[in-house]
Amino acid sequence: MESTTLRRRALAVGTATVAVGALAIAGLTGVASADPAATSAPPVSADSLSPGMLDALERDLGLDADAARSRIANEYRAAAVAAGLEKSLGASFAGARVSGAKAALTVATTDASEAARITDAGARAEVVGNSLDRLEGVKKTLDKAALNKAPKNVPVWYVDVASNKVVVNAASTAAGQAFLKAAGVDSNLVTVAESAEQPRALADIRGGDAYYMNGSGRCSVGFSVTRGTQNGFATAGHCGRVGTTTNGVNQQAQGTFQGSTFPGRDIAWVATNANWTPRPLVNGYGRGDVTVAGSTASVVGASVCRSGSTTGWHCGTIQQLNTSVTYPEGTISGVTRTSVCAEPGDSGGSYISGSQAQGVTSGGSGNCSSGGTTYFQPINPLLQAYGLTLVTSGGGTPTDPPTTPPTDSPGGTWAAGTAYAAGATVTYGGATYRCLQAHTAQPGWNPADAPALWQRV
């Protein structure tokens, strides 16, 4: 039997009003968040987006710079409006999504009398038959059944706010129906869709970049975090177990996994040693680092970009929230489904919308040559699970060298103490590098060990 768990939404008059008049579309000055776990964002502007993000949005979504800035601003506003309406609509709330080049917001409700409230808030109202609580209750029942016994040939299921149904992707209709029967859910609330997806955790093929586990496999850093005075980073649980040691991109000793959950969830965090300083940055892979200002979650349809150590920087859109996906190792719940491509080794890496951290790469299907579908573990539940604080709002250039920097003596024209301008080229260890950010070189920041400052050419 399906279970339905109603959200405990704040319905007081003070929180029921959606106030977004101060959030200008062209230059957003603040973002409200309904999620108490979200990290508050300082004032941000769509005009402050990094060139790398604008380039990737143009490449992957076909947006020019002006259209990209406008869309991001609209998406910030949509997130604030959706959060306020979710509170005020209460149990009748049936989900939110953005669509179209201008990211127009649609908010669904089961109560036709609430349509005017939605319209007054600046969104398009849609009256549907099923509340989000009801559909998530169905999905929760499916999740529980999958934990008891992983479904065969059923890789993915999620709440689809656009169709107002739970969607089960299966290799065949018969496989999907068998899953529904075993779980005991109402099939009228579910759409079974045939799918050839074969998702898997992206660290299953070993490589070299970002960080290395126990001297062998490779994954990608998600976001810098702290826990009290301890520095570290968030990443995917399938990348390592508690006690797994890591080396950084420079092959220097880095840290140890302190918490890890997989399957069920795909979350982990690594505590780093004193040689590693956390920065509120996401690697743009040659397009400039992206500053992390907070962790306000985006809605369905919003653009999102991913940074990973195998394929670099790619963008797409959020397709569904709170998705469940079955890998060969077991079922993962609570992930977000996206159209962003990824490949093995990208696991654990960052998903970010504008300046807002969204999550860490879990797995997916396809690749960045032919396209694919990927899933990320939302960052706020990860932070909450381990009592972590997201590192936010900082500069793009290191200010302190490592306490025990490596010896920089492989030969070449690069030299510590030299001021380099962006675009300058040097040689180091037999290779040529181009400077990405103006800085004065210091020991430990050599071109081979500082990818945020230098790109090999």
Residue showing tokens 């169905």: 138
> CA 93, CA 18: separation in Å to the nearest integer?
14
Strands (E), 137-241: 156-160, 165-170, 190-194, 200-201, 211-213, 218-219, 223-227, 230-235
Report the sign of the C-alpha dihedral through residues 260, 262, 264, 266, in that order: positive
Q: Active-site residue numbers?
A: 238, 266, 347
Q: Treating both helix axes as pointing N-terminal to C-terminal, what angle do 173-183 and 132-148 enclose, rounded to 10 degrees?
A: 90
Helices (H), 302-406: 379-386
3-class SS at 282?
strand
Give yes or no for a contact between 300 and 97, defined as CB atoms under 8 angstroms apart: yes
> CA 414, CA 432: separation in Å to the nearest integer?
10
Q: In this structure, what token pair is assigned to residue 186?
A: 């109402």
Q: In this structure, what token pair is assigned to residue 114?
A: 């609430």
Helices (H), 350-451: 379-386
Say how many CA atoms lie within 13 Å of 196 toward its Cβ: 2
DSSP 8-state class, residue 39:
P
Q: Kindly report whether the peptide bond that precedes residue 263 is cis, defined as omega within 30 degrees of 0.
A: yes
> CA 379, CA 390: separation in Å to the nearest integer?
9
> CA 453, CA 107: separation in Å to the nearest integer?
43
> CA 299, CA 164: separation in Å to the nearest integer?
15
Per-position DSSP letters for 377-398, written without gaps between them: EEHHHHHHHHT-EE--S--SS-
The count of residues in the chain is: 457
